[in-house]
Structures are given as structure tokens and as C-alpha cells.
Amino acid sequence: MTDVDPDPRSMGILRSGLTVAADAIGITVIRAAYSTTIKGGADVSGGLFDTRGRLVALSDASMIGHLAPLRCAVRSILADFPPEVIEEGDVFIMNDPYRGGVHANDMQVFATVFIDGQLEYLAGSMVHVADVGGTAPGGLSGTVTDLFQEGLTLPPVRLFRRGEPVADTFNILAANTRTPEITVGDVRALTAGSIAGGRELQALVARLGPDGPAVLRSGIDALLAYTEERTRIAIRQLGDGSASGEAVIDDDGVRLDLPLTVRVKLTIDDSTMVIDFTGTDDQAVGPISAPEGPAISAAVYGARVFLDDPDIPVNEGMFAPIEIIRPEGSLVAPRRPAGANSRGITMLAMIDAMVDAMARLHPSRAIAGCDLNHVMTLSTKDALGRTKSFHDRDYGGAGARQGSRGVDAHGYAVFAGRSNVVPMEIIEEEHAVLFERLALRRGSGGRGRWEGGRGVEKRVQVLDDYNLTVRTDKFTFPPRGVQGGGDGLPGAWIINMGTDGERRLRSKETNLPLKAGDRITMLTSGGGGFGDPSAKEESA
């Protein structure tokens, strides 16, 4: 075997082999991790890259929201550490949102993959580690005003050199976390995962025979070209045209009376899609702005959901036909040191704006507004004064579309939907809390000929004193209905709901004290409805 033909069957075989190697990353990290969120919610992404920084494969379990950050991060590593200075056994770590990261707690670890003594690839993994300092335990304060309040920021640095741990790097990590054993354990799990992915890739090369390295290189080139061509064909099928859309964000967590707007213009010209966010509001004071990696992920996701080819491979080839314009200093291209831990709010607004624009180009493809994920962090101290914390998230309803009601409790899949919601039993086993209710939220989906998906009602009682940090959006501007459909119900956080001490929170709050016995209720938004509700009976 000396080459890989660029036909669908060959591409499918190669794609599967690369995906297996990428999947080994996530499987290993989950098995080795310390954090409840990673072990129970599979909150891990993994990818393979060549020394040109090209995305070769993304694991099937990865969040699309992590697609571009991994790709941007590996390019930052290669810029600081050219291949000629990298040695076999080197492992790199980083989390800087302005060098390809997401936010402080999303650590990225890249293992080097040598074949026949030459650096050929890098295998990267990313998870939200337990804690890296900052204003709030767990790193998800929606009310901070800059990057420095979010926790430790690492540029690309060596974590292992020639297979040996770099003590200085590990010491810095341990000194900047409230949970050193867990955080360092998570980083070691990331390392194990990336190394496992690299070994699977080496095994793939070996299976390709004596010319394996050259066969794989040429096969990857063919696979990326194949992906680009399929993407171009799918874009061309949409037809030429241009339309604008927008989406409104409640607030940035700091300026509570100031909504922010993401604006976009979509232009389809033959086989190219231009996604232009010119006109989007300036970067926020609060931490909702989306740096390069998250912003590109949101735009690419927004483009792919409208292509009539859902099986296009996820690799470097899909980027070439999509041009993304992000005005510097805006919500979608902030300047350092704008905070970024709540960037998901802007990412969802980017997708909503693109959906709004596409509905004007192709009304039959319109989708009503979707909810985003609601996240709460609960932290306490054990008998020895050590911090214990966990995240719990859930999703609201997806928007309805022509011919189909919205999916319940799922939202956009850019954050993997319900697949990364940690089972309540796992949280209860490790933390002093009791989940009392998890149910679909009745009547929360927007009315319409096709109703929006329902959100959820989740209630948890704390059995010890805790601090609570919450972060979400769509309390003021809920998921919108389209073509006559109604909006979904807005979300809410409520402490001790239904009692004399009931307290409603804002969408973003940090370090609120809870006493043992207090209950926090999460109400996620419903999706928007589609079409005139009076036509519902007729359509049945």
C-alpha cells in the first residue's frame, strides 16, 4: 500500500482510524480524572493535529465549542516552540484565552507524536479543571471584569520535557488552585489522554505498512481536500444570497441595565460563506466576550447546521470555504484582558444571529430561538479547611422549526447538549447535597403551530453551608418565537422557592452564601415556538 485514493470509501476508512485515535484521548481522560464534572459528565474534548497546525481529527465526543480553541492553541504552541526545538516526550500545557484558549479553567494539554524519530503530529486534550484560583471557586464567576480575576493564565509552556515532569510548571499549578490534588490530578489525566491518542496514531501508522508515515501524510492531505470539497458542495446548494440577523444578550453581569447585541451578515457566493459580524456591540465590561477560539467555533457551528450534509468530517478542510469577519474590540473579538469565562453567552448569541439571518435567506429553514446552558457552582470547606466544589449544568428547550416541535431540555449542541450533564447520583455521592427534583418545565416552550422545546426544573438542597455562583442568560430576552410563534418562558434562579424566604437571583451572581437546608431551584428557558398557534389543530 503506497497511497490513499480520494474516494468516499478510502476517506471513510481513514477518517475512522483517525477518529479512533482521537477518541482514545477522551476515554483515557475520563477514566483518570479527579473532578466530578469530568468523570460524571464526560466534559472532555480531544483532537489530532499535524505540525502545520492543521486539525486532522476531532474525537466524536468533543464539544464543537472546543473545535477552534484546540486548533488555535496548537498553533500558539508551535509558534513558541518550533518543531526543531521539540524533543520526543515533550508535553505542553496552556489555557490563555488570547492564545487559543477558552477561559482560565479550560486547560489544554498537547503531547508530541514522533514517528521514526521525527515530530509528525500533536495530540491535544481539553477539560474544565476543578479550580485555578480567581474570584470564585471553580472559575465561573459571571461578574468579574477582567482576565486576572478569572484565575491563573498560562501561555504555552512545557509540562513534561523528554518524558519527565517539569517540576516548576506543576508547582505553579498547585500554588494557584484551591484544590491542588484534584486540579493537578486532572492535568495528569489530560496528559495521559493526549499520550494515549498519540500512541493510537502511531499504531495506525504501523498498520499502514513500511511506508506508513508517507501513506498517512498523503491520506490526510486527501481527507482534508475531500472535506473541503464536500463543504463547498453543501454551501453551493444553499444558493447565492445575503441577509442580516441579530440577537440580544440580557446583560454582561456587571452593567445590568445594558443589553448587548450581536449582529451578523451572511453572504453565500457560489461555494463560499462569509460570516461578517461587523456592527456587533463593543466588548463587554463583564466576562461574556468571546475570544478567537470560541468565536470561530460558534460561527462554524452556525454554518454547519444549515448544510444538507451532516456527515461532513470535522477537520481542517471545513474551514477553507468559510470566511469569518470579527471586528476587533467587539464582543466577538475582544482585546486583552477582557474576561471570557462566560463567553458561551456570546457564542449562543452568534448562533442565534446566524439563524435569524438564514431564516431571511431561506424561510423554510427557520428555527425558533434556543436556550443556552445554565451553570451553577457550589463550594464549601471540609473539616480540614480544604475547598470542595462542583459544577452542575442543565439545558433549556430547543426552538421549533417547520414540521417539528423543539427538542426538550437540550438547546444548541455546540456545548454537547445533555450528554455532558452530570448524573445527580454521582454528585450526591461526592458532595453534601440532595437533588429533590428534576422535571421538564411545563408550559415553558413557546406556543406555535409547532411548540418550542421545554426547559427543566431542577432543585437541589444543600446539606452543609455552601457558596453559590450562577451564570446564564435569557432572563430578560427569552428564546424568541418565529413566524407567529410565541417566545419561550424566561429562565430563573430561585433560592427557597415557595417559602417566605424566597429569593430570585439575577442570571449571573457570584459567591452567595447558603445555609445548610437551603434549596436552589434552576429553571431553564423554553425554546421559541414556530408558526401561528391557531393553525396547530389543523396541522395535527
**Model confidence over 470-502: pLDDT tens digits?**
999 999 999 999 999 999 999 999 999 999 999
* Segments of 236-305 assigned E as strands: 241-249, 260-269, 272-276
Residue 534 CB neighbours (<10 A): 11
Q: How confident is the model at residue 43 (pLDDT cuts 50, 70, 90)?
A: confident
Instruction: Please state which of the ranges 24-28, 382-386, 413-417, 458-462 shows the lowest mean pLDDT.
Output: 413-417
Give the per-residue pLDDT at 60.
Answer: 83
Q: Exposure pattern of 365-404 as b/e (b: 16+ CB <10 Å)? A: ebbbbbbbbbbbbbbbbeeeeebbbbbbbbbbbbbbbeee
Give the residue-averaged pLDDT of 210-227: 94
394: phi then psi, degrees, rounded to nearest 5:
-155, 175
Give the per-residue pLDDT at 10.
Answer: 75
Give the per-residue pLDDT at 414.
Answer: 74
> Following CA atoms 117, 122, 123, 129 in sequence, which dihedral angle do they give, to the nearest 10 degrees?
120
Does residue 111 lie in a domain region?
yes
Does residue 179 lie in a domain region?
yes
Handedness of CA 49, 54, 56, 57 (dihedral sign): positive
Does residue 324 lie in a domain region?
no
How many domains is the chain built from?
A: 2
Helices and strands (H, E) in the chain, number of each type? 10, 20
- Inform me whether the pLDDT recorded for 3 exceeds 50: no
Grid coordinates in use for 3?
A: 497511497
| Structural contact between residues 439 and 89, judged by C-beta atoms closer than 8 angstroms | no
* Segments of 292-414 assigned E as strands: 322-325, 373-381, 387-395
Q: How confident is the model at residue 539 (pLDDT cuts 50, 70, 90)?
A: very low
Does residue 237 lie in a domain region?
no
| Structural contact between residues 278 and 323, judged by C-beta atoms closer than 8 angstroms | no
Query: pLDDT tens digits, residue range 305-320?
Result: 899 998 899 999 999 9
Q: Exposure pattern of 305-323 as b/e (b: 16+ CB <10 Å)? A: bbbeeeebbbbbbbbbbbe
The continuous run of DSSP H or E covering 58 comes out as strand 55-58
pTM of the model: 0.94
Give the per-residue pLDDT at 540.
Answer: 38
| Structural contact between residues 380 and 464, judged by C-beta atoms closer than 8 angstroms | yes
| Structural contact between residues 393 and 421, judged by C-beta atoms closer than 8 angstroms | yes
Query: pLDDT tens digits, residue range 75-109?
Result: 999 999 999 999 999 999 999 999 999 999 999 99
Task: Output DSSP code: residue 404.
Answer: B
Give the per-residue pLDDT at 67.
Answer: 84
Does residue 258 lie in a domain region?
no
Give the per-residue pLDDT at 416.
Answer: 65
Grid coordinates in use for 346?
A: 456570546
Of 180, 204, 228, the one marking the end of a domain is 228
First to last CA, the chain: 57
Q: How confident is the model at residue 13 (pLDDT cuts 50, 70, 90)?
A: confident
Query: pLDDT tens digits, residue range 403-458?
Result: 999 999 987 777 766 777 888 999 999 999 999 999 999 999 999 999 999 999 99
Does residue 1 lie in a domain region?
no
- Inform me whether the pLDDT recorded for 199 exceeds 90: yes
Q: What proportion of the chain, given as a percentage, has pLDDT over 90?
A: 85
Of 173, 201, 228, the one marking the end of a domain is 228
- Inform me whether the pLDDT recorded for 517 exceeds 90: yes
Q: Which domain holds residue 21?
A: 8-228
Euclidean distance between CA atoms 157 and 162, whole angstroms: 14
Q: How confident is the model at residue 40 (pLDDT cuts 50, 70, 90)?
A: confident
Of 209, 228, 247, the one marking the end of a domain is 228
- Inform me whether the pLDDT recorded for 5 exceeds 70: no
| Structural contact between residues 361 and 243, judged by C-beta atoms closer than 8 angstroms | yes
Give the per-residue pLDDT at 446.
Answer: 97
Q: How confident is the model at residue 6 (pLDDT cuts 50, 70, 90)?
A: low
Count Cα neighbours of 239 within 13 Å in the Cβ-side half-sphere.
5
| Structural contact between residues 374 and 472, judged by C-beta atoms closer than 8 angstroms | yes
For residue 83, give every residue at least 6 positions away whose Cβ sits within 8 Å of its Cβ, in sequence order, or none: 51, 119
Nearest Cα to 310, choosing from 480, 64, 70, 527?
64
Euclidean distance between CA atoms 415 and 344, whole angstroms: 9
Euclidean distance between CA atoms 140 and 150, whole angstroms: 8
Which amino acid would we find at residue 512? L
Is residue 52 classed exposed, middle or buried when 0-12, 13-18 and 19+ CB atoms within 10 A define those classes? exposed
Does residue 442 lie in a domain region?
yes
For residue 397, give every residue at least 6 positions away whose Cβ sits within 8 Å of its Cβ, in sequence order, or none: 370, 371, 406, 407, 408, 409, 410, 411, 444, 445, 452, 453, 454, 455, 479, 488, 524, 525, 526, 527
Give the per-residue pLDDT at 4.
Answer: 45
Query: pLDDT tens digits, residue range 325-355?
Result: 999 999 999 999 999 999 999 999 999 999 9
Count Cα neighbours of 398 within 13 Å in the Cβ-side half-sphere.
19
Residue recorded with cell 505540525: 51
